[in-house]
A and B are shown apart, each in its own frame.
Chain A
């Protein structure tokens, strides 16, 4: 299915872009640092490809791929030396744009008066190197949630407006990827400053680069790059096209919003509740999950207090707590909240799907719950006329 926040676009016709080698990538990081950016990109740490501040392009995960499955993530060496032939790692850019802990404001008692002060230091100017198309869409989704309504999250808006987005298109989807189903990849959609496609073959390791904004074009002009040759362009495009056919997962061909709204009483929720540990990993790794809670602290003098905002998860029992107890007390209701929000009610609230098909929730679920499999089960149930649940066989989940 497609979503309405944008469509995939090929680079504009006529702009052939430039091509550069690994030296160009090194120069890019140097240029960004020289321009005052805090460069964040993928790097290998603790057995995973994480997002961290980069001092040099040497820190990119050259020669590393990943093996993904439900509840499974392993690094694998790649003989071709590619840096971006790996699908989503455990982190997403929300860690930087919508950080896990933010001080919102502080309060001081000054001679009996309460003084409230807005709380954050000015953020660094980020350059995100290696944004995958699915994550580019995820950023657009969070833009809508945090800045598109009646109220704007000022801290997010400031971090976001300063951020430079360098997209790298996907040529190596993982077994848990389904961006094609969600209409978000593997080609870069709109909204980037620079877009690249990595090619590593007998003709050499190179990057086909296109500017997407005046600032992107300005930076591109500073790099040791030459006009892209047709061979590189064709190989790059073919790599992205082939990736679209190699998605490890697909969503059912149903209107997911209607499917979610029509299956709130499906027996499948009991089935998934038998497996879900309500650990909240899926919400932490999801690039669009935005929920937060607050924490109020005071210092030892008792005259200085701070309001902090922290990532929260709808899988937490406290999340829906009212004075009488939690609204969503059961695992069934909490998993259903997460999935129906992501695929369904997100449209009502923010005008798009909340899922971009990155597959992180599948990979990082400790018991391997697969959102595409759950959606397919709900779809099957709907298509088969919504039968009542059969009596359970045995005692445990499969």
Chain B
């Protein structure tokens, strides 16, 4: 049992734009270091005087050896994090929560399906699978975004082609877009899915995950081999504030990644 400590100071080693409203920030410890993060786990990131938000690690080891977080400027804290510059300091605590069950995916085809910035917590999965190709079957990455301009990690995604099957779709194409248009589930038709040996990992808007899972189950994937990363308001990340409840679950503690068979009935209840 750990007593909840104050966050540790971390310094911004690098920051770069992903899209017009989204940036990635690489953080290195200014003193003591947090325990290592696993793919899918998250940190509470504190912007001085503004507040703290949960952010999943989008890379476990950046260019400077630090932890990378990708933030979209939507509220006061995320906007403050979006505006960080190299050398600035934030408070960081974690790692929190249950990440992706990669042990369950070992030996299986890995199907990564992301909507928008939902690719952030899944990127460390792609890195992990690419690092140990022998440990997994085929890797496929399906990405959906609102517009081509909303695609995060665009260059890096292109680099995954080859070792991984990569498919990208957008809701609204712009000039010069020659890829797929439509919801991310439409990309499933392009794969030769082997449901009996596939593990699917999903992150994106809840409605996208519901529809995608329905499609996957329809194609014969068992629900316990679909993992989803869920999002709720979080104030503490330590199971004490009560905000992240989803029925019986405290998502900071029992999630954010949960097997679909566990949450399927909960996601059917409106406003649970």
Contact = CB atoms under 8 A, between A and B. Distances in A.
Interface in B200-237: 205, 231-233, 235-236
22 contacts: A109-B48, A114-B30, A114-B48, A114-B90, A116-B6, A116-B8, A116-B91, A118-B5, A149-B1, A149-B238, A150-B253, A154-B4, A157-B3, A291-B241, A292-B235, A293-B235, A293-B241, A296-B49, A296-B51, A302-B49, A319-B233, A327-B232
Interface stretch (B55-63, B101-109, B173-181, B244-252): B244-252
B195 interface: no
Contacts of B253: 149-150
Given A150-B239, A292-B235, A322-B232, A113 B9 contact: yes
A67 interface: no
Nearest to A348: B248
Contacts, number: 137
Given A114-B90, A322-B232, A292 B2 contact: no
Interface string B39-77: 000000010111110000000000000000000001100
A151 B272 contact: no
Interface in A113-159: 113-119, 145-147, 149-154, 157
Nearest to A149: B239
B242 interface: yes
Contacts of A264: 269, 272
Interface stretch (A10-18, A226-234, A328-336): A328-336
Contacts of A291: 241-243
Interface string A337-353: 10011001100110000
A290 B236 CA distance: 12
Interface in A285-316: 290-294, 296-298, 302, 305, 307, 312, 314
A233 to B, nearest CB: 41
A302 to B, nearest CB: 7
B190 interface: no
A332 B269 CA distance: 12
> Interface size class for chain B?
35 or more
Contacts of B8: 116
B194 interface: no
Contact of A327 (B50, B90, B271): B271
A292 B242 contact: yes
A265 interface: yes
Contacts of B235: 292-294, 312
Given A113-B89, A319-B233, A151 B2 contact: yes
Nearest to A148: B1
Given A114-B90, A265-B269, A349-B245, 11 more contacts: A113-B89, A115-B9, A149-B253, A151-B3, A152-B3, A290-B242, A293-B241, A297-B49, A305-B48, A307-B52, A322-B231
A168 to B, nearest CB: 30
Given A151-B1, A153-B240, A291-B241, A104 B232 contact: no
Interface in B72-88: 74-75
A150 B2 contact: yes
A117 B242 CA distance: 24
A264 B48 CA distance: 41
B3 A154 contact: yes
Interface of A: 104-105, 107, 109, 112-119, 145-147, 149-154, 157, 264-265, 290-294, 296-298, 302, 305, 307, 312, 314, 319-324, 327-330, 332-333, 337, 340-341, 344-345, 348-349
A396 B49 CA distance: 46
Contacts of A298: 48-49
B270 interface: yes
Contacts of A117: 6
A388 to B, nearest CB: 17
B7 interface: yes
B9 A337 contact: no
Given A145-B240, A333-B272, A349 B250 contact: yes
A264 B269 CA distance: 8
A293 B1 CA distance: 22
A66 to B, nearest CB: 30
A293 B91 contact: no
B248 A150 contact: no
Contacts of B205: 324
Nearest to A341: B245
Nearest to A108: B48
A337 B245 contact: yes
B245 A345 contact: yes
Contacts of A302: 49
A99 to B, nearest CB: 14
B242 A320 contact: no
A330 B269 CA distance: 13
Contact of B9 (A116, A320, A329): A116
A117 B271 CA distance: 38
Contacts of B232: 320, 322, 327
B160 to A, nearest CB: 28
Contacts of A115: 9
A296 B247 CA distance: 28
Contacts of B48: 107, 109, 114, 298, 305
B67 to A, nearest CB: 16
A153 B241 CA distance: 11
Contacts of B75: 323
A221 B270 CA distance: 59
B203 to A, nearest CB: 14
Given A109-B48, A116-B6, A118-B6, A327 B240 contact: no
A224 B89 CA distance: 61
A261 to B, nearest CB: 8
A312 B233 CA distance: 13
B204 to A, nearest CB: 12
Nearest to B3: A154
A323 B74 contact: yes
A307 B270 CA distance: 33
Contacts of A333: 270-272
